[in-house]
A and B are shown apart, each in its own frame.
Chain A
Amino acid sequence: MPPAVGGGLAGSELRPRRGRCGSQAARAVGPDVATEATARSPKRPAPSSRRFEAPGRWALLALVTLMSFATRFHRLDQPPHICWDETHFGKMGSYYINRTFFFDVHPPLGKMLIGLAGYLSGYDGTFLFQKPGDKYEHHSYLGMRGFCAFLGALLIPFAYLTVLELSQSLPAALLTAALLTFDTGCLTLSQYILLDPILMFFIMAAMLSMVKYNSCANRPFSAPWWLWLSLTGVNLAGALGVKFVGLFIILQVGWNTLSDLWHLFGDLSISMVTVGKHLTARILCLIVLPLALYTATYAVHFMVLNKSGPGDGFFSSAFQARLSGNNLHNASIPEHLAYGSVITVKSARMAVGYLHSHGHLYPEGIGARQQQVTTYLHKDYNNLWIIKKHNTNSDPLDPSLPVEFVRHGDVIRLEHKETSRNLHSHYHEAPLTRKHYQVTGYGINGTGDSNDFWRIEVVNRKFGNRIKVLRSRIRLIHLVTGCVLGSSGKVLPKWAWEQLEVTCTPYLKETLNSIWNVEDHINPKLPNISLDVLQPSFPEIMLEAHMVMIRGNNGLKPKDNEFTSKPWHWPINYQGLRFSGINDTDFRVYLLGNPVVWWLNLLSIALYLLSGSIFAVAAQRGARLPAEVEGLSQVLLQGGGQLLLGWMIHYFPFFLMGRILYFHHYFPAMLFSSMLTGLLWDTLLRLCAWSLASFSLAGHVHALGILSLLLGIAYSFYLFHPLAYGMVGPLAQDPRSPMAGLRWLESWDF
């Protein structure tokens, strides 16, 4: 028997192999069904061919892997310039190599791996990754692309093995592998320096190990069982460490584990002690282990990135103190606020910045025509304020006077150092948030009126306490109107240089908007202390990093009137993403799924729902199915059910997300959908073959069906491959273009 495709087809006639770990399907069907099914098979393989079975399987797996690597690595160096988001992730890889601190909305593992791959392949981190289209020139970029392509290529053997495990059918697995190998979208997404191949690698690896460990359920606590269980945990940590959408696969594994435990719990032949052991094993491998690994990635992240960089401003003052090069690093400042201190005041809300004023007035018609007060993200002399007593104007820095500390509950005046105007508020509406009061700079040389008086309060402290630099979270309450100084986070128009609005809010709800902390502190009369005592602990850093990331993710809102990708666009392959090039002279790469594959997937989901519900209702009605059909329906309901669940978990949550969405978010779901397609068509064709068993050619229905599907998919790939491997020349509207006639939807712009 030839080991290649033919071997696969012949192998399809074989019923489940009882390996070290029996398969789910085999367990469900039972040995008698398996033998009966083998007996029913029209072309029953001779016993001698069993010797070739195992090598044939290995050869087939090797072939699938080879095809996948060949397609992924073909023309990997093209185009030799930055494509699409490579500009972000390549840059972040460089940051790791240069050890400069940065901020990103995704967890660090993926970018760390990219950085590592670059480092090992001799990339020195000097390329700037400024914008898409920049040429790489002499910089070595292939290592990073190669790493991503390697992980992307591994998806296909993983999918192959998963489907094989779920269905025990080689043709189903082969069909899945073909769908994914010949999908231009998966191919394109695997070829560049992106997080997605890494994410999908971990998702698929977690899925595979979960399925494998399910198959080992009849031999619990054996070595393979432990191996697959802990591998599942490791991959879960990986998936979550690359992007937060890794949470979806965690949900899936969690659901699987719960139902598994529920099953064990209901099995009266298992003692409670054993159930307890099972539970502990899962807690260890699926909760403790991933959490430890996930935390470890952060530990590495913060250890590697120890230089000040572009991400500093997103984090709190205490956090910045640990970055070398930041002016808070190794700084020493007085610990407690005293009258006469020169300070900067930072909003506790992330990415809002410092309380700021400058020598410009609010324009006509916007509140009182007094000096503007804003928040500003960058460090600047105009951020400096002097704390003064509300009732005297004597210079507190006069050395003859004793130092007087500011205490919680004191009434103070904040004088802007550069312009000598007082922080002031009054009953005029704020420029943008109409329900709040305007905040201005008022007075001449520190002499204003009673609207300049603020009561300083520390959150959760008793009256009379001193106020600590960096650590104390303070609120400034306007004495006359009773409102609280806050930043609304809204961007002011051009007249305020697009800085952020500061208001005095009459709603006394405690929100981060109205909480501030003192960052810089200059007072020559006080002794300086080192900031090292303020260094946050690792859990605090973790927590803060997550808060900043979540806020960053929520902040990625689509702008009005922007064409955005909607989740319902994705499965119908409505619109692609332009990776590189627009005009007909450019080298163009367009991320778009192979429409044949995608539409087949879509059709398969509908077919699956239909056939699945027919089988489910039949079972519920107590219909007695023939053993062969019963086995197939078990494969369809259990194996297919897991894949359908995977697709749903990786797709539907996007409908609830408020952040901006892109087409490539669908690809993890697409992997599951392709696996479902492979499994479904194999099962349906087997059912066909079974129902036509009385006809002479019936046995070939299955083989022919699979073969034609494979050929059709391969041909569609031949048609659409320029999308992934790059097109030069006229656009698709032009009949001379290689893509002429293939623009089946008007929304595809290639």
Chain B
Amino acid sequence: MLGFLQRPVVVTADINLNVVALTAVGLLSRLWQLAYPRAVVFDEVYYGQYISFYMKRIFFLDGSGPPFGHMLLALGGYLGGFDGNFLWNRIGAEYSTNVPVWSLRLLPALAGALSVPMAYQIVWELGFSHCAAVGAALLILIENALITQSRLMLLESVLIFFNLLAVLSYLKFFNSQKHGPFSPSWWFWLMLTGVACSCAVGIKYVGVFTYFLVLGVAAVHAWHLIGDQALSNARVLCHLLARAVALLVTPVLVYLLFFYVHLLLLCRSGPHDQIMSSAFQASLEGGLARITQGQPLEVAYGSQVTLKNVFGQPVPCWLHSHQSTYPMIYENGRGSSHQQQVTCYPFKDVNNWWIVKDPGRHQLVVNNPPRPVRHGDIVQLVHGMTTRLLNTHDVAAPLSPHSQEVSCYIDYNVSMPAQNLWRLDIVNRESDRDVWKTILSEVRFVHVNTSAILKLSGAPLPDWGFRQLEVVGEKLSRGYHGSTVWNVEEHRYGRRAGGEGAGAALAYADGRQQEPQLRGQWRMLTVRSDDSEHKYSSTPLDWVTLDTNIAYWLHPRTSAQIHLLGNVVIWASASLATLVYALLFIWYLFRRRRRVCDLPEDCWLRWVLAGALCAGGWAVNYVPFFMMEKTLFLYHYLPALAFQILLLPVVLEHVSDHLCRYGALAATPPWGAGSRGVLNGDSSVMQMGLGSQKRHKQGSTGVQRRRLTKAGGRGRRLMCT
């Protein structure tokens, strides 16, 4: 209890000056003259607009990636006090004085700088020497493509940071597995792995490949754990559960958290509202919410509504009609009913209003109290401006001849009776007597006579239809499809009815969190980018050979330029290292299969793990690009390159330790001096008298471990057991 009286309070710390120095140089290289140039450089023009949206808290959805990366960039803007007022429209435009360029670029630069000491740590944790670790860090440090990418308001450096962090923390976790499972540091590194993975995914979807890699390695290790019969069943189960929670559940939760924060931050209506559902739009400030505020919730007979198609492809639009009729004869010679056109129109218009009418009554106003429309009720829809009734009949639609034409009925007295009764089918009903609700209900209109379903075919009509979208009656419905489903967006009760019923304000709050999150996710994955050509676009094969570059910025007067271009020496040698690794790996594998062990067991395991993480990290971040159809640029290769660079010193050390000395060591005793001196001389772990003792312990065990393996492994062929 009063132990400190007996013994002095001693705090010991190991500070690895290598790491400190590397971090310092990393910071220097990434932060020096960060605010230069004070102009929009390349994709800053793209990320910048999202930062502005965050600053102004305007809702948006970026089709190309999840929001975490944009949020991080916006955090920089927030710290620098950016107000979001800058027009991001042209690469090379000078920043106005209100843009805090330095702080906007700070976070990517920090991430890039921290990648340097992390590279050191990863190689060290993989069980290689300090020399190799320093080499890896230096290579990351001086790779000019990484420097360029880190110094700008771009996301690759942050992605690389989290990728490396995920791998590093997994390695730390894996190494602490032997000493202290379930210790605090064990938990910390395990959880950090999961969090880093989901951060990487949250920045760009390609981060998911690193996540899969870590999952795969963890699965193999877990499988070995299952095979460890020294552990009791319960303990194995605990291990598996801990991994499942940290590596499967946590990432999903963290990922959802990004979207939660995204939606929490962005509460104002903006340009991307349209692709979201009406319910979500109504939850944003301004925009639709201004209109829908205080709308009556329940649709009643006599309600005036606009009907929005839920599918919204090719564009979101509303059911529409206008005075013009279908042409008597189409261009291809087919005839029509010559009745009033019904279309889908992507703009707000007075012709989008329809009145829900009870077929049994003539009045078009809402009773007091309002009579709500329920699932299964038969209704007529009256077009507000022309007072004609929505109708469909067995006439081929103008562009989809297999479906029925939908029109507003005009009685030409030609023995073509009106067929204007529609049965309301609420798709997302909870009971069979559900009431038709504004915005929330998704409804289908089933034609009573022909059981056709009102559907947006999406085909644009020719000039006679003012290029609006075709609406048809689909005879053969094949299950649920968004194009047959509509929802009421704007709604008011017909006049002359008392205002009492309007009091039931809409309760949209519940639609706010989970559902839009999923929807946003889905939209994001399905929104397609169309134009796939760019002056600097390249193919994955160009990347390895560095056969491409990107001109990021050009000063209009002085012709000062920034180019994204890799260091040829590093790229070529890293590729060579990958090749050497693959060949050696196959060679060792085949020899081991014939029970010839060139490497001792733990040295082999180290070699395999290094390959799985570094060469594997390169492969998973590179190969999938061959299958992607989007426009590709050189910077897409950088995450793969970061892993590949780590492999270079690993392979070099292996070659120098095990292959180059092979001939010499065959003559001398295997435990001879060899690289011992290098090892000790290089370990510049200095005792400074502060911090914990743990690091030192690990370091020394690492050295011991290596000493043993070197002594046993070099120069002798072992027969594997």
Contact = CB atoms under 8 A, between A and B. Distances in A.
Interface in B447-485: 457-459, 476, 478-479, 481, 483
A347 to B, nearest CB: 17
Interface stretch (A162-170, A313-321, A617-625): A617-625
Nearest to B592: A266
A617 B226 CA distance: 7
A746 B444 CA distance: 16
Contact of A575 (B314, B457, B478, B483): B478
Interface in B462-514: 476, 478-479, 481, 483
A268 B594 contact: yes
Counting contact residues on chain A (CB < 8 A from B), the size range is 20 to 34
Given A561-B313, A563-B481, A746-B479, A268 B595 contact: yes
A575 B458 CA distance: 23
Given A507-B535, A560-B458, A622 B478 contact: no
Contact of A266 (B223, B227, B233, B593): B593
A265 B594 CA distance: 7
Given A265-B594, A266-B594, A435-B531, A621 B226 contact: yes
A747 interface: yes
Contact of B458 (A268, A435, A561): A561
A620 B227 contact: yes
A483 B527 CA distance: 31
A621 B594 contact: no
Contacts of B535: 506-507
B227 A622 contact: yes
Contacts of A749: 476, 478
A56 B581 CA distance: 57
- A contact patch SS: loop
Given A507-B535, A563-B481, A575-B478, A620 B593 contact: no
A262 interface: yes
Interface string A210-232: 00000000000000000000000
B477 to A, nearest CB: 8
B533 interface: yes
B590 interface: yes
Nearest to B476: A749
A563 B226 contact: no
Given A268-B594, A560-B314, A656 B476 contact: no
Of A561, A575, A622, A749, most buried by chain B (CB within 10 Å of CB) is A561
A620 B478 contact: no
A504 to B, nearest CB: 14
B327 to A, nearest CB: 15
Contacts of A560: 313-314, 458
Contacts of A746: 479
Contacts of B223: 620
Nearest to B224: A620
Counting contact residues on chain B (CB < 8 A from A), the size range is 20 to 34
B336 to A, nearest CB: 19
A622 B229 contact: yes
A574 B481 CA distance: 14
B397 to A, nearest CB: 13
Contacts of B593: 262, 265-266
A333 to B, nearest CB: 36
Of B227, B479, B535, most buried by chain A (CB within 10 Å of CB) is B479
Interface string A652-678: 000010100000000000000000000
Contacts of B531: 434-435
Interface string B196-230: 00000000000000000000000000010011010
Nearest to B227: A620
Contacts of B227: 620-622
B667 interface: no
Nearest to B475: A582
A435 B535 CA distance: 10
B533 A621 contact: no
Contacts of B476: 749
Interface in A550-569: 560-561, 563
A747 B479 contact: yes
Contacts of B229: 621-622
Given A561-B458, A621-B229, A621-B233, A265 B590 contact: yes
B10 interface: no
B520 to A, nearest CB: 21
B9 interface: no
B225 to A, nearest CB: 10
B414 interface: no
A388 to B, nearest CB: 32
A641 B595 CA distance: 28
A555 B512 CA distance: 41
A262 B592 CA distance: 12
B234 interface: no
Of B227, B313, B595, most buried by chain A (CB within 10 Å of CB) is B227
Given A560-B458, A620-B223, 13 more contacts: A265-B590, A266-B593, A272-B594, A433-B533, A435-B531, A435-B533, A561-B459, A574-B479, A575-B479, A622-B227, A746-B479, A749-B476, A749-B478
20 contacts: A265-B593, A272-B594, A433-B533, A434-B531, A506-B535, A507-B533, A560-B314, A561-B314, A561-B458, A561-B459, A574-B479, A575-B478, A620-B223, A620-B226, A621-B227, A621-B229, A622-B227, A622-B229, A656-B627, A658-B629
Interface of B: 223, 226-227, 229, 233, 236, 313-314, 457-459, 476, 478-479, 481, 483, 531, 533, 535, 590, 593-595, 627, 629
Closest 4 CB pairs of A and B: A561-B458, A747-B479, A620-B227, A266-B593
